[in-house]
Amino acid sequence: MVRDTSRDGFINRLELFVLTNFEWLWRLVQRSPLLTRWLNRFLTNLTVYKVATRPYPFSLMTLDEHIPDTDRLKKPETYTSWDSLRDRTYTGRHLPPSSEFNQQSTLPTPEDLADLFRKQGGETIYSKKSTLLFPYWVQWFTDGFLRTDRNNRLRNTSNYHIDLAPVYGLTRKMTHQLRSFEGGKLKSQRNEEYPRFFYEDAETGTIKEEFKDLYIPLNDEIRQSPDRKAKLFAMGVERANVQIGYVMLNVICLREHNRICDILAGAYPSWDDERLFQTARNILIVTIMKIVIEDYVNHITPYHFNVILDPQSFPNEKWYRENWMSIEFNFVYRWHSALPETFVYAGEPVAIVESLWNNQMIMDRGIGELLQETSAQPTSKIGLFNTPDFLIEPAEIPTIKLGRRTQLASYKSASRFCIKY
């Protein structure tokens, strides 16, 4: 399947051509730190300023039928209001609803449309570029800030920051439940270091008193067998135990936080628990941000120029504002096809569904061996006709329905609206 690029625009196609060719020239350019920083700033701004900067003129607030009629127009419309500019509990949006949805009755049903995601003949198309570590990282990383409210999909529970919420929790109260208050460290259990277990009694589903206000478990977690519940860890968000890749990255961060605390305590023996914790947390967050920019972003782009983390270059830019995730950005990350149906575990093929809510698989192998095996096998290719069956109903179909409900513009309409707005 070849993507139609006819609507991309000449300038965009020219930029892509220059950035994806002349590899020798880009390598030469990046030998100069000064030139690299200048180009990094130029290319970043060139990309970011293709859309309007924050604050967004629209949000999903005006589509919410639960808001009393006295506070909104009786007919749902998307318009700019003070609340739409300020209330970040509602997901933002770049563009108003598309008129294409005036005739929704003529559109195929979400269930029929889901066939575009199903594998043809059951065959998985594997990526030639990415390993299984890629979807593991993407889910763990984005779940920290793309957090749709489970009770109202127009709203979110996000802090809108790369703040490692899966590790530290979404609020200070949650963070306190995860801290040991000794040497700045997070609570853990030893042998091979892991977070503490979440449940006091897995048979009855009784949560330990120290974690009783950490989060409300998801229905998928509640339905797990006592054997699996007994091995679930106390971590920062309700989805943190969902899959072994997610857990693996959380555990690595917990260990790194505690390791940094030991280093800081040795270097600054007068520092108390609070300063050790806060400093280690800041160091780990910046470390992850550097990995995001210089490894993850450079991996997913086809460019020969490698972007760098250089926040000092942007303090006066119009886009350098408080984050607010948009529904369009959220939908960019519908990469469920990146997860394969099966993966190699302990040298044998295993159904990926067996790795859901199954921390015993991590504890049996250990983080080191699991990470090595994860990085040695290809993952699935992102695209149509490649999503695992177990993600069609809970992931793809609800996404289609939310797109219909919020009346997201098609590629053609979005291009036209971007010019207008």
List the chain domain ranges: 10-164+294-420
CATH code for the part of the protein at 10-164+294-420: 1.10.640.10
- Give the integer Cα–Cα distance in Å for 211 and 54: 37
The secondary structure element, H or E, covering residue 166 is helix 165-168
Residue type, 90: Y
Length of the chain, in residues: 421
On the CB side of 378, CA atoms within 13 Å amount to 9
Q: Are 182 and 174 in contact (CB under 8 A)?
A: no
Alpha-carbon distances, residue 123 vs 25, 340, 376, 387 (angstroms): 40, 10, 21, 10
Residue 54 has pLDDT above 70, yes or no: yes
- Give the integer Cα–Cα distance in Å for 291 and 336: 22
Q: What is the pLDDT of residues 200-226, one digit of tens each?
A: 999 999 999 999 999 999 999 999 999
Evaluated on CA atoms 204, 239, 130, 194, the torsion sign reads negative
Q: What is the pLDDT of residues 103-158, one digit of tens each?
A: 556 788 999 999 999 998 888 999 999 999 999 999 999 999 999 999 999 999 99
Q: Are 18 and 43 in contact (CB under 8 A)?
A: no
pLDDT of res. 2:
56
| Interior/surface letters 16-31, b for 16+ CB within 10 angstroms, e for the rest | eeeeeeeeeebeeebe
Alpha helix (H) ranges present in 3-160?
A: 10-19, 23-29, 33-48, 82-86, 110-113, 133-142
pLDDT of res. 384:
92
Q: Is 199 helix (H, G, I), strand (E, B) or coil?
A: strand
**Six token digits for residue 31:** 């030998």
| pTM passes above 0.85 | yes
Residue 421 has pLDDT above 60, yes or no: no
Mean pLDDT of 358-384: 96
Q: Are 355 and 374 in contact (CB under 8 A)?
A: no
| Interior/surface letters 298-334, b for 16+ CB within 10 angstroms, e for the rest | eeeeebbbbbbeeeebeeeeeeeeeebbbbbbbeeee
For 210, counting Cβ atoms within 10 Å of its Cβ (0-12 exposed, 13-18 middle, 19+ buried), the class is middle
Residue 132's closest CA among 328, 317, 338?
A: 338
Beta strands in 97-192 (DSSP E): 126-131, 148-149, 152-156
Q: Are 44 and 312 in contact (CB under 8 A)?
A: no
Q: Are 195 and 189 in contact (CB under 8 A)?
A: yes
Residue 140's closest CA among 159, 167, 174?
A: 167
**Six token digits for residue 204:** 């009855």
The secondary structure element, H or E, covering residue 201 is strand 199-201
Residue 398 has pLDDT above 70, yes or no: yes
